[in-house]
Amino acid sequence: MKKLAVVAFGGNALLRAGQQGTIDEQEDNAFKAGKNILNLMDRNYDLVLTHGNGPQVGNILLANSAGNKLYGIPEMPMDICGAYSQGFIGYVLEQQLMNVMMKEGKHRDIITLVTQVLVDKNDPAFKNPTKPVGPYYTREEAEEFMKKSKSIYKEDARGRGWRKVVASPEPLVIYNKQAVEKIAREGNIVIAVGGGGIPCFFVEENKLQGIDAVIDKDLASSKLAVEIHADEFYILTDVDKVFVNFNSPQEKALDKLTLEETKRLLAEGQFGEGSMAPKIKAAINFVEKTGKDTIITDTNRLGDDNAGTRITLG
């Protein structure tokens, strides 16, 4: 029987640090990411792909601001910007994965779903924004932005600069998840829960409305993987393995972790909240609820059984 894998791409799958964010750059990155998907396709996996959107949403927000200042174009809220990004990132991933498959003489239909995710408007996360979005800035630039607006900026744990942070509420319901599983198990590739999904809440009974937040894409991807009964969950990032004592002389890469070990290291503060901690929490959620493995690794090592950090039940 074929296995179903959920593969969560990071935002760097399309837009890497130091790049301008041109469509040519993003298409090239998507093509390279698509080549790695072939490793799982060749092993006959059914596939659901999710992706980050932090850099892209940041650019959309900047364009919004510039358009408002120069031409009076109304600025769009965060949920609408998320929907923009789901559409264009899904299109780029679809097209470049199609290009990869055609070059290799392979075929699968690919379907991108704009995905809404229900959150609680009273979630405590709204009182403590932690989710980084958009480009990196210097301390001086960030302080200037904070003086001019109610936005909050925090320094990146890996020393890459300062980024805007917004609320990251817990995902409660992923809409259309049954359709995601059905379409994927029929042999199609599904792209869903882009950027963690578009956050929405019930403003009144039977009336959904978007809310200004960003759902963590790894946590939403983990929830989706649990609810569609995935056999494996891959979290792709820009490092080959999970490390303890990261960026210190005692730095150590980890090949395998049990659920108990992973929880202990998380409680010890080994993983930065703005970087690896959300991925670890997503991995814990999937392993704990399914008993199946999560693999955290570099995008370029997808499908390599010896790559990454494998988190297991025991």
Domain ranges in the chain?
Answer: 4-120+172-312, 131-166
pLDDT of residue 211: 93
| pTM to 2 decimal places | 0.91
Please report the DSSP string for 120-175 in residue order.
-TT-GGGGS--EEEEEEE-HHHHHHHHHHSS-EEEE-TTSS-EEEEE--PPP-EET
Q: What is the pLDDT along the chain (314 residues), one digit of tens a residue?
A: 799 999 999 876 777 777 888 999 999 999 998 999 999 999 999 999 999 998 888 889 889 878 988 999 998 988 999 999 999 999 999 999 999 999 999 999 999 999 999 999 999 999 998 887 777 889 998 998 899 877 889 998 878 899 888 899 999 999 999 999 999 999 999 999 999 999 999 999 999 999 989 999 999 999 999 999 999 999 998 888 999 999 899 999 999 999 999 999 999 999 987 689 999 999 999 999 999 999 999 988 888 888 899 999 99
Q: Which residues are catalytic?
A: 11-12, 131, 217, 279
At 239 the pLDDT is: 86
Whole-angstrom distance, CA of residue 264 vs CA of residue 94: 39
In whole angstroms, give the CA distance from residue 162 to residue 168.
18
Per DSSP, the three-state class of 262 is: helix
Distance CA 197, CA 169 (A): 11
| 159, burial (CB in 10 Å: exposed 0-12, middle 13-18, buried 19+) | exposed
pLDDT of residue 49: 98
Measured distance CA(193)–CA(218) in Å, rounded: 10
Q: Check: CATH 1.20.140.10 for 4-120+172-312?
A: no
> How many of the other CB atoms lie within 10 Å of CB of 42?
11
pLDDT at 194: 97
**pLDDT score for 214:** 93
Token pair, residue 55, equals 């850099």
Q: Which residues, at least 6 apart from 80, have a Cβ–Cβ distance to it below 8 Å? A: 210
CB count in 10 Å sphere of residue 304: 14
